[in-house]
Amino acid sequence: MNKRANFIVWFFVVIVIMAFSVFALVLNKTWSEIETPLDSALAQNIPSDTNVNVSEILGNVGDTSRNFSNMLPFLLIGLFAFVLITAGALLKHPIMIFVGIMVFAVLVLIAATFSNVYSELGDSESFQETDSELLIQGTFMDYLPLIVFVLAMGIAAFIIFSKGGGGEL
């Protein structure tokens, strides 16, 4: 993989985190709006002699969609592990350090923008109740620039000081 592709991976990570968070927020909002009408419609159309508890099944689906947002930390860990694996030859040439710093600055700016967009979306009247149910996701998105900064510094330190790859100081 070429060096430019290693930098593109960082943008991929932040975009995937934003997409996942917005998807989970919209999914939970949509489910909360259709769960009650769907429950009543299905309860009216299921024969009374069946052992199916529609309300319990739909409640389990709602719990699952809310728990889906709890996977964000694992997604974050997996994406940054992917970056770490693909970034082996990133700092072989000294000029790549300066390019890396510029890309890193843009990445933190994008993370801050995505964090603000998510906060505005979550604080809007339509999504405020749903966002309050997704505590882990909201916390991660609030601190996304800091998380990206810390993980990127950790990965850079690992690459610089590992024996197999990276540059030497």
What does each C-alpha distance from 161 to 34, 88, 157, 164 come to in angstroms? 53, 11, 6, 9
Whether the CA torsion 146, 103, 18, 71 is positive or negative: it is negative
Please count the structural domains in the chain: 1
pTM listed for this prediction = 0.62
pLDDT bracket for residue 100 (50, 70, 90): low
pLDDT of residue 84: 63
Residue 57, pLDDT > 50, answer: yes
Average pLDDT over residues 144-159: 80
pLDDT at 166: 47
Amino acid 145: pLDDT: 87
- Asked if residue 168 belongs to a domain, the reply is no
Q: What are the C-alpha distances in Å from 147 to residues 48, 107, 114, 152?
A: 52, 12, 13, 8
In a domain, 169, yes or no: no
> Can you give the pLDDT at residue 1?
47
Contact 132, 142 (CB under 8 A): no
- Alpha helix (H) residue ranges in the chain: 3-45, 54-68, 72-86, 95-123, 128-133, 135-142, 144-161
Q: Is residue 167 part of a domain?
A: no
Residue 150 belongs to a domain: yes
pLDDT over 80 (residue 140): yes
Check residue 7 and give its pLDDT.
Answer: 61
pLDDT tens-digit readout, 110-135 = 888 888 888 888 888 888 888 888 88
Domain range for residue 124? Answer: 3-161
Amino acid of residue 42: L
pLDDT of residue 91: 53
- Lowest-confidence pick of 26-30, 47-51, 115-119: 47-51
